[in-house]
Structure 1
């Protein structure tokens, strides 16, 4: 029993994997990365899809990512996944580290997230975008507790970017998403919801770079 307990302490539980994919300017050119859909194909190409055709609309891919932009040398993509990506991709460089369950045991975090702010219209049933920085900010605050298990500090919450994501899929369908980047601080008020939010992402459009909670624990004395 003691030996088993020691092995458990020495081998902490891996909750997920965090990866940084670096694409050079030449990689971006060869891969023809021009929009969110081309980025989606590059990220998802790093993983084996374990879902059947029937499951794809029902079961999570286990993949979240955020486009971190870049400089003259690299385009950076942060990826959170429930399995390791290919460590020798055809293009780019990738670094992967485990995320241990203990990372989610803190009570207070700084965060950044790119979201697709939207809500369902009660009369038409259609998904409508939330427009305007103050409206986006309030939309996030309204959902943080009940949906995601977070108590967000209103004074800390900032909408640092708001715009529109547009792209054309292979079938010729044009897709438009509202896009906003928010930063701030939160306390965990529902651990189970918080863990689920970190693992599965928040909001809509997660297949196209939305919803990944990028968090840093704040340790208090």
Structure 2
């Protein structure tokens, strides 16, 4: 069955998720150091950085962090020192490409937690104190396992055609959120096929009720709907799976969806 912990491993260091709140979201516990005999240590290349930021609700109000778009803008302040990312933001929306980091926002009883995974090295912003900031490096060795437990908060959608004014359809159409459990389950199976993994049937897949996330972006109101998936997976294509870990799964990845939290599993 499910392990009660979710761990990101980074070589010899781990940040461990141990505490659950009433919403089922989990927080990370203290950072632990694991030492191996020096002669047996493998030299693995750093693949990504994991950041955990803890923010109290009073500070959220002071910083005007009211929705996922506000979180998104705050997360960007950690990467402003990368000049190539500044060039990216000057481009048209359709030319920008994927957001260079994945994030997830977890609300707890006394504070909120921001998790970020990125290939770019972040810097602690001025609005974040030293005691709020925790970062480790994730190396390639973590994605060499055959099976994992996973926790995914995603925006499961499907593309539908959008009529234009000439009796035809627009090029890009629009996306509709999948609201029923069978469609959400089918969506995750499809994503697994395209991202190098399949679900482990012996372990039940948990799908929580959809949650509305309203936001205000440049004076326009919007809505994303999030669904939490928990279960176990088996890797079928290591390259595609590593890419899913780095790039995320599903849509609205710039708004706190699609970050794949995993822990090695042994069935």
User: What TM-score do the two structures reach when normalised by structure 1?
Assistant: 0.87
Residue 185 of structure 1 corresponds to: 232
Q: 2 CA distance for matches of 1:100 and 1:188?
A: 18
* SS of residue in 1 equivalent to 2:179: coil
**Of 71, 75, 86, which aligns to 2:112?**
75
CA-CA distance at 1:69 after TM superposition: 1.6
Q: How many residues align?
A: 211
Task: Calculate the aligned-residue CA RMSD, in Å.
Answer: 2.2
* SS of residue in 1 equivalent to 2:208: strand
**Of 197, 200, 209, which aligns to 1:153?**
200
CA-CA distance at 1:122 after TM superposition: 5.4
Residue 48 of structure 2 corresponds to: 16
1:140 aligns with 2:188: yes
1:133-183 Cα shifts (integer Å, max 9, x gaps):
2321222113311x211101245211124122211112x222112210100
1:85 aligns with 2:122: yes
Unpaired segments ≥5 residues, structure 2:
1-37, 164-172
* SS of residue in 2 equivalent to 1:38: helix
Q: 2 CA distance for matches of 1:139 and 1:157?
A: 13
Unpaired segments ≥5 residues, structure 1:
1-5
* SS of residue in 2 equivalent to 1:131: coil
Residue 3 of structure 1 corresponds to: none
1:155-213 Cα shifts (integer Å, max 9, x gaps):
5211124122211112x222112210100000000111101000000110000000000
Matches within 5 A, 1:47-196: 47-48=79-80, 49=82, 50-51=84-85, 52=87, 53-54=90-91, 57-72=95-110, 74-87=111-124, 89-92=126-129, 93-121=132-160, 125-145=173-193, 147-154=194-201, 155-170=203-218, 172-196=219-243
Query: Could you tell me whether the CA contact under 8 Å between 1:161 and 1:182 is conserved in 2?
Result: no
Query: Could you tell me whether the CA contact under 8 Å between 1:46 and 1:89 is conserved in 2?
Result: no
User: What TM-score do the two structures reach when normalised by structure 2?
Assistant: 0.73
User: Which 4+ runs in 1 deviate beyond 6 A?
Assistant: none
1:26-49 Cα shifts (integer Å, max 9, x gaps):
321211111111111111111125
Q: 2 CA distance for matches of 1:55 and 1:175?
A: 20
Q: 2 CA distance for matches of 1:11 and 1:55?
A: 40
* SS of residue in 2 equivalent to 1:207: helix
